[in-house]
Amino acid sequence: MPAPAKPATPVQQLRASVKPFDPPVQRLIRATRAALRRAFPTANELVYDGYNFLAIGFCSALNASSCLASVAAQARGVSISFYHGSRLPDPTHRLEGTGKQNRFVRVTSVAVLKEPAVQQLLRAAAKDVAPPLAKTGKGQLIIKSVVQERRSRSAV
């Protein structure tokens, strides 16, 4: 009798969640995640693979309300969503959206991730989170939810 299959690791589950996207969107998801990991090395990554979006939230604790920013991916593209974006300083008006709380930056290319205005927004988000980010250590990757039925992840 064969041994039961090992459950997928969080990294394997995240890879499986990214795989349905078209290759250009997959590259932007990976690049954006890497940029947020560099910006917030001690943050926990909370993954929500939902009906409309794949969201990878970078959080100072193990709950979504402590989210600084997240990778928000859908078939049409990738954004950096700032959980408390409405209160971040944005002198260059780089943030989009009109909600009471959330604002976002569309990541149309890897170059967007290196823009000084985007880097400044990431630094501001790190200062505007409760509880504060840990000074040392490494955050965890946690798969919070995966829906079985979702919109197509392909733009075709």
Of 22-26, 49-53, 107-111, 134-138, least confident by mean pLDDT is: 49-53
What average pLDDT does this structure show over 63-80? 95
Roughly what angle, to the nearest 10 degrees, separates helices 116-127 and 23-39? 50
pLDDT: is 156 or 26 the higher one? 26
* Segment among 6-10, 70-74, 89-93, 110-114 with least mean pLDDT: 6-10
Handedness of CA 7, 8, 10, 14 (dihedral sign): negative
What pLDDT does 126 receive?
A: 95
Q: What percent of the chain has pLDDT over 70?
A: 94
Q: pTM score, two decimals?
A: 0.91
Tokens 């979504």 — which residue? 64
Q: Provide the pLDDT for residue 121.
A: 97
Element (H, E) at 57: strand 54-59
Which sequence spans correspond to the domains of the chain? Answer: 10-143
pLDDT digits (tens, 9 = 90+) for 15-67: 999 999 999 999 999 999 999 999 999 999 999 998 889 999 999 999 999 99
Task: Report helix angle 23-39 to 10-18, nearest 10.
Answer: 140
